[in-house]
Amino acid sequence: MAKSRPKRGAADDALVVFTPSGRRGCFPQGTPLLRAARDLGVDIDSVCGGRGICGRCQVSLNTGVFAKFAITSEKSHLSPVGEVEKHFAETKGLLPGHRLSCAARLTGDVVIDVPAESQIHKQMVRKRADTRAMEIDPLIKLHYVEMSKPGMDDQSSDLNRLKLALAENWQLEDLDCDAGVLRSLSQAARSGETYGGDWKVTVAVREGKLITAVWPGFHDHVFGLAVDIGTTTVAVHLCHLATGEVVGSAGAMNPQIRFGEDVMSRLSYLQQNQDQAPQLTTAVREAVAKLAATAAFDAGIDLTDVIEATFVGNPVMHHLMLGIDPRQLGQAPFAMVTDESVTLMARDLKLSLNPGAHAYFLPCIAGFVGADTAGVILSESPHGSDELTLVIDVGTNAEIVLGDNHRLLACSSPTGPAFEGAQISCGQRAAAGAIERVRIDRDSLAPRFKVIGSDLWSDDPGFSEAIAGIGVTGICGSGIIEAVAEMFLAGIVDASGRIDGQGVNAKRTAHLVPEGRNFNYLLHVGPPELLVTQADIRAIQLAKAACYSGVRLLMDRMGVERVEHILLAGAFGAYIDTKYAMVIGMIPDCDLAKVGPAGNAAGTGARIALLSRQARAEIEALVKRVEKVETATAPEFQDYFVAAMDIPHASHRFPSLAGAVNLPE
Amino acid sequence: MAKSRPKRGAADDALVVFTPSGRRGCFPQGTPLLRAARDLGVDIDSVCGGRGICGRCQVSLNTGVFAKFAITSEKSHLSPVGEVEKHFAETKGLLPGHRLSCAARLTGDVVIDVPAESQIHKQMVRKRADTRAMEIDPLIKLHYVEMSKPGMDDQSSDLNRLKLALAENWQLEDLDCDAGVLRSLSQAARSGETYGGDWKVTVAVREGKLITAVWPGFHDHVFGLAVDIGTTTVAVHLCHLATGEVVGSAGAMNPQIRFGEDVMSRLSYLQQNQDQAPQLTTAVREAVAKLAATAAFDAGIDLTDVIEATFVGNPVMHHLMLGIDPRQLGQAPFAMVTDESVTLMARDLKLSLNPGAHAYFLPCIAGFVGADTAGVILSESPHGSDELTLVIDVGTNAEIVLGDNHRLLACSSPTGPAFEGAQISCGQRAAAGAIERVRIDRDSLAPRFKVIGSDLWSDDPGFSEAIAGIGVTGICGSGIIEAVAEMFLAGIVDASGRIDGQGVNAKRTAHLVPEGRNFNYLLHVGPPELLVTQADIRAIQLAKAACYSGVRLLMDRMGVERVEHILLAGAFGAYIDTKYAMVIGMIPDCDLAKVGPAGNAAGTGARIALLSRQARAEIEALVKRVEKVETATAPEFQDYFVAAMDIPHASHRFPSLAGAVNLPE
């Protein structure tokens, strides 16, 4: 049905309809499309303020008879392509059929399509389709202006004239100005073609309030840095702030590892070596600075074009990056110094980005549930879904979030480092040469495995050649879980976790090796000889029981017996075969199709916070709503823990496993 | 006449009257005086929040029958001195008759005097009695709080618990927190008597919005640093932020002098040596840092107790301290990069005060009328007076302000450095050995003089001995002005400025020494021989003409023929005999009793801005109201300048001089 036609002010006024918004209105002939769009509240981007420089405002003309709009749209209903558009097309290129909306003027009725690229508030792709979309709306906006020149009749300051231009062209009033901008404003304004400068600059304005940076002339690209500080690795992503595109990434080991492999050992290092926190701070800051430089270099970006940074990390990493001594996190009651979001100048973190760059740390939730978990929530948005979702970030502690759009619970459970391959006799971090997949023949009880760095199984032809440069060096977290699960499924390990090396098993295989009164299982003859020991099984039992009982505690508090969706975050989640995690009873029953990795969810959360003001407000409000459940003081936690030590008779408690594995009697 | 008695809520309610405010009200017996005062809006200070620790809330009881309040006030109408007050009196001392208003409770009707020291908003002493008073109201307020301890039942962050305590005890809500505070909060809260800390801290809150610093326990003293960056000297004053008392000062030469004696020569150094501005910035910042350390050390103050700094300086000094390349100030149109007030972190000026200390630069007015002039206006407040006041800050440029409470005009006039003793053949800066006073015998035309460092005239007995360690080294600015004026008054120099060494003069003295077709005047036989040359007279004529014509231009624009008050700021103003300044026609006619030095008015302005929020708002609003008059482009300026070259026939234009000097025919 045709909509009612807007009233024309004059007989020869032109009607314009913008798609996909459908907004429409009548304007005098000669009105630039961009002005019409602005009047109608149609979202079209512009950095240059309608001067035909930036090309952000491109639109395309739909020609034909549009019955539903009751108009005929023709090419001749727009002004011919003029000098400005020709110049732009020649120097920067204009897609066929595209016009600059600041230059094209109405001469008749038209239907104009605004492509997604030309919208200020582009949709941000969240990974889960069932959560509401989020718009790209970075805190930093670029504004190109042409300042008036000073003269004996106008001796007002450079800043005055800049502010005047920003007020006139962009309706930005009452702006503050970072002192760093004052240091570069004079030169930026006075550079350019003519002696004395051409007085054209581009400024970055933060939250519509603060001038944070200035560049000479027209400047189109600014970037943000999303930083994910893990205990083991540090990763950075450089994102284009207007498009959200990741233009560069870099990662490295966290150099703090020399002070301790995991968070607890670093805290105990600090307990024993008073006043050494600044050393750990310097180490991680230098690593971040180096990664930022590497990512920028690889992407061909100048670090001074990086104008905003966001950080996620567990509470200890968070505190150390900020320069806060985290020792109190190692002792009951594990209170953080702050759990609010923190904004400061990037330069105060010794980070050489643009001098006016700000750094934003996502808020934390509780003692061991940090900004990394906030990032996970932002990325996986359990709060945005009807489905009851369980998100587990496995590390030395498992950070666990359970919830839906009604309620969110979180806890931290002390799994210990077994899942990361530590405290396992042949354990190692997930790196080339580490066993990551294990299968055990149900009859011969002989193992076969895969190592990181090769796609072949150990009994495939050519395996030895394939791993010649790598070797078989140890077992990583996902490998040990598969080993334990397969040992259970093959009947080598019983539900109590004991390796049964006698009776029928002993007759079938030479892989069961006695040690005192116990047996170990020989996974790899070597060299090096790799065993799964009875002690390793116990360590995994403790770890998985801690994880499961944390989950159980949250389910209990939520009053549910079942979750609908499970997401395993981080590297561990990426490598593990979720089926085996369920076999050993690390996670509760759930449709296996709905159990999956969350990938680098914390880092994704940092990226989202980089690109969206709304996301920051959302996570800041959310963390206050998250109900923190304390595992250490919950009376039922110990009971759950003890009950969860056994490897479960999966057929009873894990109906979803039916068909996926053959469970032992 | 007795005021009507406030209604008592209950029959035995007590009536309290606070003086000097006269505020009064009825309260239940047992109400602490401080609470009654707060309820009535009586201004009583407190840092500890009523815990009997700070002693800021002391009051005294007035006893007797107060007919005008219709009450009888007796000692027994207050609760007896209890433990808290006894402890305070023993440890910190309590004046006789004084009570802690937080501890003393009403038991009957009383009249309570609130001494000035106990008011938050103490009056600030301005030098001129005729201007309105200004209250001490620093941006930084101290607040002592006792935080809750964290426990397994309250794992909330330290910052959360701090904010809670600030909200409960001080009604401070929605506070931001400087990241630096996060670094010291944990330790501050956990220090103290007991293991694990006593959780008592004092925080500094800036403008009721930002937590900028934290100290363990009760902390009573914070200081501010007022910095006056002159072209020649840099001076700092440390002030107690609650009382305004100057507790320490230090001054030194501006080390930038090695790049040029005056502002113009430094600018020309920078023109010739591109990219050297950072060197000048580093030099002055190091000087300020060193002076701050010296002043703090002398006063026995820890620099971490210095929490705010203010800066004044001419535009070039202002820009260089901020790290802004000031070259554009050396070329028409002399536009500043910014003339607004600038606030930044002191650490961003490489100034090691408290890590959360802020630095505030007073606003500037125009190209050569800087933050120093803003300081002068704040200190001398011509805008606060009915009298039309002229303030002149003499340097390489004379910065001139003319106005009253209706209107303010300002300009800068290029006097050149003659008044500072430069470009004078025997000129030197005002330092020991420099001639500062000159008298010439009207008959013999023989000179006598005083030098800085001795109170004796050169013809007094014992003069040679008195200056044995000093010598007579040159002539400073005030000396050359007196010399020229005395030469005029003695008939040696005519109104056109020509030294008449012939005819009757030549017969009377040997002090007139020919040089080519001109004569010089021998002021000191030497060594070194000190002459006032014909060229010196010309230099002084040019300088005084520039000053006078700037003043005349402002008077012209103001539409007045006379000013009522003249203040000469800075070192020059302190040394000069104002009578002689009038004789040579440097300043306009004015009652000599109303012409005086303004002292270090710029530095005083910096101190006022340190102590008063209101003063900052006032000067920021004022500079926008100041009408800038540009001497370089004003068509009449050149005419005034030419007309002002002659030494005036004072009897006509300077009636105020009658009786002060005998003017030549």
Residue B132 has pLDDT above 50, yes or no: no
Sign, CA torsion B343/B345/B351/B355: positive
Higher pLDDT, A16 or A47: A16
pLDDT tens sequence across A375-433: 999 988 899 889 999 999 887 778 899 999 999 999 988 887 788 777 788 988 777 88
What does the alpha-carbon distance between residue A382 and residue A410 come to, in Å, rounded to a whole number?
Answer: 12
User: How near does any CA of chain A get to the CA of B160, in Å?
Assistant: 7
Q: Give the count of beta carbons closer than 10 Å to the beta carbon of residue B578.
A: 21
User: How near does any CA of chain B get to the CA of A182, in Å?
Assistant: 7
The torsion angles phi and psi of A564, rounded to 5 degrees, stand at -100, -15
pLDDT of residue A132: 45
Mean pLDDT in residue range A100-124 = 84
Residue of A nearest to B328 (CA): A186
Taking the Cβ of residue B152 and every Cβ of chain A, the question of whether any pair is shorter than 8 Å is answered with yes
Residue of A nearest to B189 (CA): A337
pLDDT of residue A50: 83
pLDDT of residue B286: 96
Name which of A127, A403, A292, A339 is nearest B154 in CA terms: A339
Which of A270, A338, A361, A411 would you mutate first to test chain B, the one with the most B CBs within 10 A? A338
**Per-residue confidence at B615, pLDDT binned at 50, 70, 90?**
very high
pLDDT tens sequence across A130-158: 444 567 889 999 999 999 999 888 889 99
Which of A178, A182, A628 would you mutate first to test chain B, the one with the most B CBs within 10 A? A182
Nearest by CB to residue B328, choosing from A186, A325, A339, is A186
A–B CB contacts, 8 A cutoff, strictly below: 124
Q: What percentage of chain A exceeds 70 in pLDDT?
A: 95
The torsion angles phi and psi of B595, rounded to 5 degrees, stand at -115, 125
pLDDT of residue A633: 79
What does the alpha-carbon distance between residue A372 and residue A601 come to, in Å, rounded to a whole number?
Answer: 8
Calculate ∠ Cα A203-A207-A212, nearest 5°: 35
Q: Give the count of beta carbons closer than 10 Å to the beta carbon of residue A480.
A: 31
- For tokens 């005999």, the residue is B577
Lowest mean pLDDT among B94-108, B130-144, B616-630: B130-144
Residue B503 has pLDDT above 50, yes or no: yes
Angle between helices B371-380 and B315-322 (to 10 degrees): 120
The secondary structure of B295-332, three-state, reads HHHHHCCCHHHEEEEEEEECHHHHHHHHCCCCHHHHCC
pLDDT of residue A521: 94
Nearest by CB to residue A151, choosing from B187, B333, B344, is B333
Taking the Cβ of residue B208 and every Cβ of chain A, the question of whether any pair is shorter than 8 Å is answered with no
The pTM assigned to this predicted structure is 0.84
Q: What is the ipTM of this complex?
A: 0.81
User: How near does any CA of chain A get to the CA of B336, in Å?
Assistant: 5
CB contact under 8 Å between A152 and B185, yes or no, is: no
Within 8 A of B321 by CB-CB distance, chain A residues are: none
Within 8 A of A179 by CB-CB distance, chain B residues are: 322-323, 342, 344, 348
Residue B101 C-alpha from the chain's centroid: 34
Q: What is the widest separation between alpha-carbon atoms in chain A?
A: 104
Name which of B483, B550, B548, B494 is nearest B522 in CA terms: B483
Mean pLDDT in residue range A337-346 = 96
Contact B516, B508 (CB under 8 A): no
Beta strand residue intervals within B67-151, DSSP E: 71-73, 98-100, 110-113, 123-124, 134-135, 140-146
pLDDT of residue B546: 92
DSSP string, A592-626: GGGEEEEESHHHHHHHHHHHBHHHHHHHHHHHHHS
pLDDT of residue A3: 47
pLDDT of residue B650: 64
pLDDT of residue A128: 44
pLDDT tens sequence across B457-493: 999 999 989 888 888 989 988 899 999 999 999 989 9
pLDDT tens sequence across B548-586: 999 999 999 999 999 999 999 877 787 788 899 999 999
Taking the Cβ of residue A183 and every Cβ of chain B, the question of whether any pair is shorter than 8 Å is answered with yes
- For tokens 């702030």, the residue is A241
User: How near does any CA of chain A get to the CA of B612, in Å?
Assistant: 21
Contact B5, B17 (CB under 8 A): no
Residue A358 has pLDDT above 90, yes or no: yes
CB contact under 8 Å between B340 and A159, yes or no, is: yes
Mean pLDDT in residue range A589-603 = 89
Radius of gyration of chain B (CA): 30
Within 8 A of A366 by CB-CB distance, chain B residues are: 155
Name the β-bridge partners of B253: B233
The secondary structure of B547-593, three-state, reads HHHHHHHHHHHHCCCCCCEEEEEHHHHHHCCHHHHHHCCCCCCCCHH
pLDDT of residue A196: 63
What does the alpha-carbon distance between residue B143 and residue B203 come to, in Å, rounded to a whole number?
Answer: 5
**Per-residue confidence at B128, pLDDT binned at 50, 70, 90?**
very low
CB contact under 8 Å between A179 and B336, yes or no, is: no
Higher pLDDT, B550 or A576: B550
Lowest mean pLDDT among B122-126, B188-192, B202-206, B401-405: B122-126
Distances in whole angstroms, Cα of residue B664 to Cα of each of B99, B499, B592: 69, 14, 19
Which of A195, A209, A270, A336 would you mutate first to test chain B, the one with the most B CBs within 10 A? A336
Mean pLDDT in residue range B326-355 = 94
Mean pLDDT in residue range B241-264 = 87
Taking the Cβ of residue B634 and every Cβ of chain A, the question of whether any pair is shorter than 8 Å is answered with no
pLDDT of residue A601: 87
Nearest by CB to residue A323, choosing from B150, B183, B190, is B183
A211: phi > 0 → left, psi -120 to 50 → alpha, else beta; which? beta
Name which of B393, B437, B379 is nearest B547 in CA terms: B393
Higher pLDDT, B408 or A50: B408
Mean pLDDT in residue range A169-176 = 94
Mean pLDDT in residue range A330-350 = 93
Higher pLDDT, B192 or A374: A374
Lowest mean pLDDT among A590-599, B178-187, B650-659: B650-659
pLDDT of residue B1: 39
Mean pLDDT in residue range A523-551 = 92
Mean pLDDT in residue range B293-310 = 96
DSSP string, A6-75: PPPSSTTPEEEEEETT--EEEE-TT-BHHHHHHHHT-----SSSSSSSS-TTEEEEEPEEEGGGTEEE-G
**Residues in B 330-359 with any Cβ partner in A closer than 8 A:** 332-340, 342, 344, 348
Mean pLDDT in residue range B520-541 = 91
pLDDT of residue A650: 64
Residue B9 has pLDDT above 80, yes or no: no
**Mean pLDDT of all residues belonging to chain B:** 89
Residue A124 has pLDDT above 60, yes or no: no
Mean pLDDT in residue range B505-517 = 84
Higher pLDDT, B257 or B315: B315
**CB-count burial class (<10 Å; 0-12, 13-18, 19+) for B483:** buried
